[in-house]
Amino acid sequence: MIVRFGPFEADTTGRRLRKHGHTVRLRDQAMEVLVALLERPGELVTRDELRRRLWNHGTFTDFDVGLNTAVSRLRQVLNDPPGSPRFIETTPKRGYRFLAPVQRQPSVAVLPFVNQSPDPDGDYFADGLTEELIGALWRIEGVRVAGRATVWRFKNQKYDPQTVAKELEVDAILEGTVRRVADQIRIHVHLINGQDGFELWSERYDDDLKEILAVHDRVTNCVAQALKARLIHRAPANRTHDPAAYTAYLRGHYLIKRHTPANSKRALEYFEEAIGHDPGYALAYHGASLVHILYTLMGEAPPAEAFAKAEQLLEQGLAIQTDSAMLQNTLAMLRMFQWRWQESERAYENAIALEPLNPHPHMMYALERSFVGLHDEALREARTALELDPSDPMMNFRVVQCSYYARRYEAAVRCSRTAIELAPDFPYTYLYMAYSLLATGANEEAWSMAQRGRTLGHGQALCEGQFGYVAGILGRTTEAHGVIAELTARRQRSYSPAFAIAWTLLGLGDLDACLEWMEIALNEHDSYLASALVFPAYDPLRSHQKFIRLREQVVPRLRSLGSTQVLEYNYTSQRKAPVK
């Protein structure tokens, strides 16, 4: 949530403070004090409440000094002397009260538009229009927009706008219908007050398809006016007005979210078709580059080949539109998997600056922060992404993943159970839950989770390798050797990631063979090799010279990032699960 007071603007979700639009650096504990006070302006927040909030885990012994220091730093940043406070009033020995009036951000949810086209397959168009509007509304300054996954559960459902607004904790609901016949479209849009159910604004658009982006802009501006907000920046100029290009892009965007190799291949064909219709359509280059990155993440293409294609497409897209959060986020992903850490960090920061309320850059930045060993930052970004779109499976999974990397196993298990409820078909949640359960000694449930994750992975190489690790560490050697045989045979036929084989060998305790396969993965620039640097399962390898050399090649200049955690981390051995 964005809360404004005086010249300041606090993003309580992202834990950021700005003054006159410029970021102000504030240490974590001081920021937490500010957030606690802003949540209850005018009320006394006791010192004991702040102690429980900041030091609940018993990691700090001198609470009084710590809290006094945090408040003092906060006062310095706010230029708020204790003798004549404007913002923070001290009640001696009791606590603090926030004095200044605050202005909270308005919020809106865009519910999936209803497809009224004669073609029942036209869902891709209605869904694409909904997502485009969500993206456009992210450009409204200070307005919280409910994330895609959060609103998508209302697709094809009957609902009461007031009930939905209360459930999603938003001020307004944007809903609509879309009907397309050939290149003619009719869109009817309603903005409804979530408090009383009355209509704030509505409009009908009858236009040619080539005017669809102008419709986006008109709707965005009308919503901004209704919510008494303003646009952060203008809509990008380099967009398509070619109906065929736009339609092809929406089809590709619809398919890429299905997360299968077959759908990704078809999505790439549509993105290439969009580029063919309009070579100046920046988002089509983004879509095509993302497919190539996903190909290698799914183990379908060698990283060197896929990344080279993604690089070329991103260069073309960014030459057209440099201020695209989507292009910057995908560039950051590419740089992360290329182990170009500084460039990755800059691109993620650019994406977040362009669209601070877009959960996807936060979600991916969390992974990069984990890979370089900055676990507190990783969890902060992951939680920001989750708060922005709490129903999205990937946002929930990222909290699980970052919690495991940070060795907070019980938290990872708790988050896994929530994530599985939301997305019972996502395989990696089960696998990371299995690792976390192994670390706590819950071997029987770990085996059950690993089996379920493997089944849902439908043969994906990384799922197989991670299942093989659990099988090996639990002494189920037949299953583990079966995984190695299958993955090795695949490499004879086509590309399959070497790191998946290394995983299973690690579980079997064959450390020399595991290191040999990790060196193969290094030579192939395996996308996931960086995860070994922070994966607790790899603790048995950390003193081996081969692993140390490999680590230095993956993060040769990590110190320049200001992080020494990966290079000098005091790793504690993961509890070895008893063999069954």
Beta-strand runs (E) in 276-416: none
- What DSSP designation does 38 have? H
The order of strands in the sheet holding 95-98 is 44-46, 95-98, 88-91
The order of strands in the sheet holding 22-24 is 22-24, 16-19, 8-11, 2-5, 103-104
pLDDT in the model for residue 200: 86
pLDDT in the model for residue 504: 97
Q: Is 508 exposed, middle or buried (0-12, 13-18, 19+ CB in 10 A)?
A: buried
Q: How far apart are the C-alpha atoms of 21 and 428, rounded to whole Å?
A: 39
Other CB atoms within 10 Å distance of the CB of residue 116: 14
pTM of this structure = 0.74
Domains of the chain: 2-103 (1.10.10.10), 107-226 (3.40.50.10610), 243-327 (1.25.40.10), 357-568 (1.25.40.10)
Q: Is the dihedral of CA 23, 24, 27, 32 positive or negative?
A: negative
- What DSSP designation does 122 have? G
Q: Are strands 199-208 and 8-11 parallel, antiparallel or unpaired?
A: unpaired
Q: How far apart are the C-alpha atoms of 233 and 236, rounded to whole Å?
A: 9
Structure tokens at 97: 């009260």
CA distances from 38 to 13, 34, 179, 388, 512 (A): 12, 6, 44, 19, 55
Q: How far apart are the C-alpha atoms of 442 and 439, rounded to whole Å?
A: 8
pLDDT along the chain (580 residues), means of 10: 84 78 84 93 93 70 83 94 93 94 85 86 83 81 81 88 85 89 85 86 82 76 72 57 87 85 91 96 95 89 93 96 93 94 94 89 96 92 90 91 96 94 91 96 97 94 96 97 97 93 96 96 90 89 91 64 36 35
- What DSSP designation does 531 have? G
Structure tokens at 379: 């969890």
Q: Is 181 exposed, middle or buried (0-12, 13-18, 19+ CB in 10 A)?
A: exposed
Query: Chain centroid to CA 196: how far?
Result: 33
Q: Are 133 and 220 in contact (CB under 8 A)?
A: yes
294 closest CA partner among 279, 313, 280: 313
Which DSSP helix (H) or strand (E) runs through 22?
A: strand 22-24
Q: How far apart are the C-alpha atoms of 41 and 63, rounded to whole Å?
A: 23
- What DSSP designation does 260 have? S
SS3 468: helix
Q: How far apart are the C-alpha atoms of 203 and 188, rounded to whole Å?
A: 6
